[in-house]
Structure formats: structure tokens, C-alpha cells
């Protein structure tokens, strides 16, 4: 609508400028036409009077000619007509200045001149040569005020201005709805479409029937959305492959610890089976041994299922769930790896449920990556604390504070130097030795948390340890 108003205002300004220029040009033409017609009428009248005076002087002398001029003054009261002589003074002196009459005295013809008269107003001075005979000459002077003509021009200008304003007003009343229909509404639709695309809805399409620049813009926007949609699909495919590759890399690191974890139940099963086969147990005691074998097999099944669930690639399935069991399962999965490196994982889960809308598998991958990093940061052992609480915080990129469930992973490791702390979430960036880190873990974790509407922060001090905090909105008003 603002563009439509601007276009309307611009069109009105152009219309007023054109009408104003036309009015001014018309006023100049009317003024020039009145001036030209006045000169012509004066000259024709002067010629007629010159001929009549010459006839009157020939019949009855100069007094008869002056009487003729007096009679004409009575007939044409708006024109002051009198007889003048060149170089005369007093009553016979011309009213116009000498320089305006020089052509008259040289050419013995008529001359017209516009200049200030009595009272300072413009007057039309017209002089027509009169031959009196015997070398005596003079001129008929006609003086007429141009006030009426100027008043007519002013009235014409005023009427033209009023007509221009009325035409502009009517034009504006007509242009406003037209600009709204042909400009405002299409532009509004384009703005809404751009907002949908900006919010991430790349499937949005817009159709404008107008075969103009706005229609071309709509077509290009649709083509851009198709290209972005294809690029987004390709990006998501690559991200999913990276996520899965990171999972498999983590699985490889967990394998040694889990193999050790499976060793104990396997030994128990083997010993009980050998005792049964050797006949060392009989009767009801056999059932007790079989029960122990079954329990250890179930324990192994749980361990293997956790590993397989973590490694399995699947589509995201967000749902509302309590964050604490996910944290507990991640800590349990990584316990064998931590024990192997003499790291104790301590979980502080709190008593209140931390409800969030997440994909459990993806969140478990985030927590696994952060916990593995914490374990690797303590090569000589230590305690890794995983704490769940609920806070009100602002996103790192700014915005309003929101209620969040927070998972804090605190290690007692070597810390991260300030020179590389800002790069820890970059893909393929790692400070670990070759063969241990892929550089994908933190990058993948950062991307997954962002997709859930959350964010990750990191604080570190060399020689003290590092703290990662994962913030996930709870959907509850802060």
C-alpha cells in the first residue's frame, strides 16, 4: 500500500506540474494574443482616424479634425485619443518617451508600445502618423489601460489552476484504487511470499496473472524457491550422511569398551553352561543356573541393542519427552568407554521432569558427542559431570528470553585455548591427535541442536576444564 500511495503521489505531482506548465503557457499565449489584438485594433482605428482627419483638415481645417477626435473619445471611453506633434511640449507633447517614437518620426508609419502609464499600470500606447499638409505633421495618440486584459489573464490563470486541482483530485481518486489493484495487491502478495520463504517454507509458490515486471518477479521468485528447495534437500542429505558417519565413528570408539562390558556376562554364561554339562549341578539347582544364564543374556542384549540403536540411521521423529532418561541412557552407553579411561561419569538429573520436543536418537547423538569429548579431554582420568536443570535464557544470537531445559557437561580436562575456542563448532576442526577425532562431532551436535530450536554454549579455561551447555526450549512461556 505504501508503494501505491507513493506512485499516486508521484503521478499527482507530475499531473500538477504538467497542468501548471500548460496553464502558464496558456496564460502567456492569451496575454500575447490580447496584446497583439489590441495593437492591431489601435492601428486600424488610428489609420481610419488619420484618413478622416486628413479629409476634415482639407474641408474645414484643424479644429474640425480635433472635433472628430473629441467625438471618437466619447464613443471609445476606454481609449484616450488625442493629436500630438513631434518635439512638442505641454498639451501637444506625446505621452510615450522619445526613444519609443523615434521609429514613427523616421518611417512616417504607426508604432505601438507597452509601458507604464498614469498610476504606474501598464498601458498600450499607439501612434499613427498624420500628414497635415504644407510640411506640417503630427500623430494620433491612443492610450488604453491594459488592466482589464491583465485581469482577464489573472482570471484565466486562477480558473486554470482550480481546474488543474480538481482534475488532480479526480485523477487521484481514480489512480488510488487502480494503483492498489495493479500495484499494491501484487506487491503485498510478493512481500507475504518472501516472508514465507524467509521463514523456511521453500514449498511456497506465487502466481500473478499480470504480464509485467511484477509477474516476471513472481516467476523468478518461484524459480529461486525451486533451486533453494533442491539445494536444501541436497544439504539435508549431506548432513544426514555426516551425522551417520559421525555415529559410526563413535560406535567404533565405543566398541572396545562395550567388548569389555560384554566379557563379564559371557564368562558367567560360559561357566554356568560348563557346570551344567559336567553334571556338577542337579535338580532344582540347574534351574537356578539357567536363570543366571538368561539374566546375563538379557544384559548382553540390552548392551548390544543400545549400540545398534545408536548406530542405526533413521528419519527424525520429534516427540515430547522427558530429557532425563535420554541423558541417563547416554551416560550408561558411554560408561564402559569412560571406565576404560579411568573417568567417572556423574549425573545430576534433578527431581522435576524436563519436558522438551526432540528426536531422542538425535539428542542422544548430541549428548554422546559432548560426553566423548569430555572423556577425551581427561587423558589421566577424572570426573565428568552431566547436569540437567531448567532455566530462562536468551539465545546466543539475541532475542527474547525463553524457558529452556539445559544439559551441562563439565569436565576436569586440559581446557581449550582462547585462540581456538571460537572454532570448536567448525566442521572437520579438531584439536585431537590424528586417528582419534574426525572433527565432525561438535559440528553435527551444533547443527542438530539448532534444528530443535536450541543452541550450545562453551566455556573453557586451560588447566581447569571445559563446560558445554545445551539449551532446548520447553515451549512453556517464560
Mean pLDDT of all residues in 393-405:
81
Mean pLDDT of all residues in 134-151:
77
Nearest to 467 by CA among 456, 458, 476: 458
Residue 456 backbone phi and psi in degrees, to 5: -125, 140
- Predicted confidence band at 299 (pLDDT cuts at 50, 70, 90)? low
CA gyration radius for the chain? 53
Q: What are the CA-CA distances from residue 409 to residues 64, 65, 285, 386, 427 (Å)? A: 129, 126, 47, 5, 21
Contact 158, 28 (CB under 8 A): no
- The pLDDT, as a whole number, for residue 467 is 92
- The pLDDT, as a whole number, for residue 350 is 83
Q: Which residue intervals of the chain bear CATH 3.30.450.20?
A: 2-152
Mean pLDDT of all residues in 110-118:
76
Nearest to 182 by CA among 203, 209, 160: 209
- The pLDDT, as a whole number, for residue 435 is 45
Four-way CATH pick for 318-478: 3.40.190.10, 3.30.360.10, 3.90.79.10, 3.30.565.10: 3.30.565.10
Distance of CA 408 to the CA centre of its chain: 39
DSSP 92: G
- The pLDDT, as a whole number, for residue 182 is 63
- Predicted confidence band at 239 (pLDDT cuts at 50, 70, 90)? low
- The pLDDT, as a whole number, for residue 213 is 67
Q: What are the CA-CA distances from residue 391 to residues 357, 363, 401, 471, 474 (Å)? A: 16, 19, 10, 9, 10
- Predicted confidence band at 434 (pLDDT cuts at 50, 70, 90)? very low
- Predicted confidence band at 231 (pLDDT cuts at 50, 70, 90)? confident
Greater pLDDT, 332 or 435: 332
Q: Is the pLDDT of residue 204 over 80?
A: no
Mean pLDDT of all residues in 102-131:
76
Please give the Cα distance from 449 to 461 (Å, whole number): 24
- Predicted confidence band at 183 (pLDDT cuts at 50, 70, 90)? low
Nearest to 133 by CA among 50, 24, 72, 196: 50
Question: Could you please report the per-residue DSSP string of 4-64?
Answer: HHHHHHHHHHHHHHHHHHHHHHHHHHHHHHHHHHHHHHHHHHHHHHHHHHHHHHHHH-HHH
Mean pLDDT of all residues in 314-318:
67
Q: Which residue intervals of the chain bear CATH 3.30.565.10?
A: 318-478
Instruction: Give the global pTM.
Output: 0.46
Q: What is the CATH number of domain 2-152?
A: 3.30.450.20
Mean pLDDT of all residues in 206-225:
72
- For 317-345, what is each residue's pLDDT tens digit? 788 999 999 999 888 888 888 888 899 99
In this predicted structure, which of 129-138, 234-243, 325-334, 344-353 has the lowest mean pLDDT?
234-243
In this predicted structure, which of 31-35, 318-322, 458-462 has the lowest mean pLDDT?
31-35
Give the mean pLDDT of the chain: 76
Greater pLDDT, 386 or 289: 386
- The pLDDT, as a whole number, for residue 176 is 64
- For 50-73, what is each residue's pLDDT tens digit? 788 778 777 777 778 778 877 887
- Predicted confidence band at 441 (pLDDT cuts at 50, 70, 90)? low
- The pLDDT, as a whole number, for residue 408 is 94
- Predicted confidence band at 385 (pLDDT cuts at 50, 70, 90)? very high
Q: Is the pLDDT of residue 189 over 80?
A: no
Q: Is the pLDDT of residue 405 over 50?
A: yes
Cell of 78: 476606454
Which among 89-93, 171-175, 180-184, 297-301 has the top mean pLDDT?
A: 89-93
- The pLDDT, as a whole number, for residue 346 is 93
Greater pLDDT, 243 or 17: 17
Q: Is the pLDDT of residue 387 over 90?
A: yes
Mean pLDDT of all residues in 92-120:
73
Mean pLDDT of all residues in 273-300:
72
Instruction: Give the helix/strand (H/E) hosting 419.
Output: helix 418-421
Q: Is the pLDDT of residue 251 over 70?
A: no
Amino acid at each position: 500500500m505504501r508503494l501505491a500511495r507513493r506512485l499516486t503521489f508521484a503521478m499527482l505531482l507530475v499531473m500538477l506540474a504538467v497542468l501548471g506548465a500548460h496553464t502558464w503557457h496558456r496564460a502567456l499565449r492569451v496575454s500575447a494574443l490580447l496584446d497583439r489584438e489590441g495593437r492591431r485594433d489601435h492601428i486600424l482605428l488610428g489609420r481610419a482616424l488619420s484618413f478622416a482627419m486628413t479629409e476634415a483638415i482639407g474641408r474645414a481645417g484643424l479644429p474640425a479634425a480635433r472635433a472628430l477626435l473629441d467625438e471618437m473619445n466619447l464613443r471609445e471611453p476606454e481609449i484616450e485619443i488625442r493629436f500630438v506633434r513631434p518635439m512638442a511640449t505641454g498639451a501637444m507633447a506625446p505621452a510615450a518617451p522619445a526613444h519609443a517614437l523615434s521609429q514613427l518620426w523616421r518611417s512616417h508609419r504607426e508604432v505601438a508600445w507597452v509601458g507604464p502609464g498614469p498610476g504606474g499600470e501598464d498601458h498600450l500606447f499607439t501612434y499613427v502618423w498624420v500628414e497635415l499638409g504644407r510640411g506640417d505633421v503630427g500623430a494620433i495618440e491612443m492610450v488604453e489601460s491594459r488592466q482589464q486584459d491583465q485581469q482577464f489573464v489573472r482570471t484565466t490563470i486562477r480558473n486554470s489552476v482550480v481546474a488543474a486541482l480538481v482534475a488532480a483530485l479526480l485523477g487521484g481518486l481514480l489512480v488510488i484504487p487502480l494503483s492498489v489493484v495493479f500495484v499494491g495487491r501484487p506487491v503485498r502478495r510478493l512481500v507475504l511470499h518472501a516472508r514465507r520463504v524467509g521463514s523456511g517454507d521453500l514449498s511456497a509458490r506465487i502466481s500473478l496473472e499480470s504480464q509485467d515486471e511484477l509477474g516476471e518477479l513472481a516467476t523468478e521468485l518461484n524459480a529461486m524457491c525451486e533451486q533453494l528447495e533442491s539445494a536444501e534437500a541436497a544439504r539435508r542429505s549431506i548432513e544426514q550422511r555426516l551425522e551417520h558417519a559421525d555415529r559410526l565413528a563413535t560406535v567404533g570408539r565405543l566398541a572396545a569398551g562395550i567388548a569389555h562390558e560384554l566379557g563379564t556376562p559371557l564368562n558367567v554364561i560360559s561357566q554356568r553352561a560348563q557346570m551344567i554339562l559336567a553334571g556338577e549341578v542337579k535338580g532344582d539347582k540347574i534351574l537356578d543356573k539357567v536363570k543366571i544364564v538368561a539374566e546375563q543374556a538379557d544384559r548382553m542384549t540390552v548392551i548390544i541393542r543400545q549400540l545398534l540403536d545408536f548406530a542405526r540411521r533413521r528419519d527424525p521423529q520429534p516427540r515430547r519427552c522427558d530429557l532425563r532418561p535420554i541423558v541417563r541412557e547416554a551416560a550408561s552407553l558411554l560408561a564402559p568407554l569412560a571406565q576404560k579411561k579411568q573417568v567417572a561419569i556423574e549425573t545430576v538429573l534433578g527431581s522435576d521432569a524436563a519436558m522438551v520436543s526432540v528426536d531422542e536418537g538425535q539428542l542422544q547423538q548430541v549428548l554422546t558427542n559432548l560426553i566423548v569429548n569430555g572423556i577425551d579431554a581427561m587423558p589421566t582420568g577424572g570426573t565428568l559431570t552431566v547436569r540437567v536443570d531448567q532455566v530462562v535464557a536468551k539465545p546466543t544470537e539475541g532475542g527474547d528470553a525463553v524457558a529452556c531445559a539445559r544439559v551441562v557437561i563439565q569436565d576436569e580436562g586440559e581446557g581449550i585455548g582462547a585462540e581456538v575456542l571460537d572454532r570448536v563448532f567448525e566442521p572437520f576442526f579438531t584439536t585431537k591427535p590424528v586417528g582419534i577425532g574426525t572433527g565432525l562431532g561438535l559440528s553435527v551436535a551444533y547443527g542438530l541442536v539448532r534444528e530443535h530450536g536450541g543452541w550450545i554454549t562453551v566455556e573453557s579455561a586451560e588447566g581447569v576444564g571445559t563446560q558445554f551447555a545445551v539449551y532446548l526450549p520447553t515451549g512453556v512461556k517464560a
